[in-house]
Amino acid sequence: RPSAIRSVAMSEAFRLSQDKRCESWITDEELCDFVAFVGPERQRVPFLRAPLATLSKPLRIALYGEFREGHTRELVLEDVTVDAFDVMMRTAYHLDPKLTPPRAITALKAAKLYMIEDLEKYCWDYLHDLEGLDGTLILQTLTESLKSSFDLPEDLQCTYWSNILSKSASVVQSPFFVETHGSVIAQLIKLDKFHVNEETLWNRLVEWAASAVQKPELLGP
């Protein structure tokens, strides 16, 4: 038994050292051989092109083909967010993509655009699971989908709202409640079966309103 435990510890230590080396492909600019200009602001992100080229045929053509990018070693991705590109890199470098609802939705849009089928499936699996359909993560997902104009499937939305109803108290007490999109808040307070103490709900709505004044993007249509 001690030898088995020692073997597991050695394997874990080796895995961590491998992850650390792979992380350096993202953090160490000296190892990078290409530059992406990401998002509308064209944020500069150095990267190693070979692993990224394995994600899909369109990326391989862009990075190794005869197009301008292959010669300039610069890739312009105005329709991809910085978070989405980070997920793409981490996927290519065999690292944890570190998904959150916002990262999953933006990465899903990028995966569809660049035909990265396994990443697209992974993001959908994450959005269907959300760590056991956690109330806070559901609010974050609904909010991000509205902010980024991303249509969630009706069956998934039904699953989310059913869980919101069953976890009413924890949803209202969620730290993210005050950051939730106004359309979600409006739909939430119309629910007949949303059983929450009225005073608690009122206090949280007042807090949400104060937050929305500072962040008008939460008001939404």
pTM of the model: 0.87
Rounded Cα gap, residues 59 and 34, in angstroms: 13
What is the per-residue pLDDT across 68-83, written as a single tens digit (0 to 9) for each?
666 788 999 999 999 9
Element (H, E) at 166: helix 154-166
Query: What percentage of the chain carries pLDDT values higher than 70?
Result: 92
For the beta sheet containing 34-38, the strands, ordered from the edge strand earlier in sequence to the opposite edge, are 43-47, 34-38, 74-77
Higher pLDDT among residues 189 and 124, named by residue: 124
- The predicted pLDDT at position 172 comes to 94
Amino acid 16: pLDDT: 87
Angle at 101 between CA 37 and CA 175, to 5 degrees: 120
Helix pair 117-133, 82-92: axis angle to 10 deg = 110
Mean pLDDT of the chain: 90
Handedness of CA 195, 197, 203, 204 (dihedral sign): negative
Percent of the chain with pLDDT over 90: 66
Q: Is residue 3 over pLDDT 70?
A: no
Q: State the Cα–Cα distance between residues 140 and 138, nearest whole angstrom.
A: 5
Q: What local confidence, expressed as pLDDT, does residue 2 receive?
A: 63
SS (H, E, C) 192-204: CCCCCCHHHHHHH
Residue 185 structure tokens: 């808040």
Once rounded to an integer, what is the mean pLDDT over residues 124-138? Answer: 94
**C-alpha–C-alpha distance, residues 156 and 43, integer Å:** 33
Average pLDDT over residues 121-150: 94
Query: Which of the pair, 2 or 115, is modelled with greater confidence?
Result: 115
pLDDT, position 197: 87
Task: Reply yes or no on whether the pLDDT at 188 is more than 70.
Answer: yes
pLDDT band at 134 (very low <50, low <70, confident <90, very high): very high
Nearest to 122 by CA among 133, 112, 135: 112
Supply the pLDDT for residue 70. Answer: 60
Per-residue CA distances from 46 to 65, 73, 125, 132 (Å): 19, 10, 29, 35
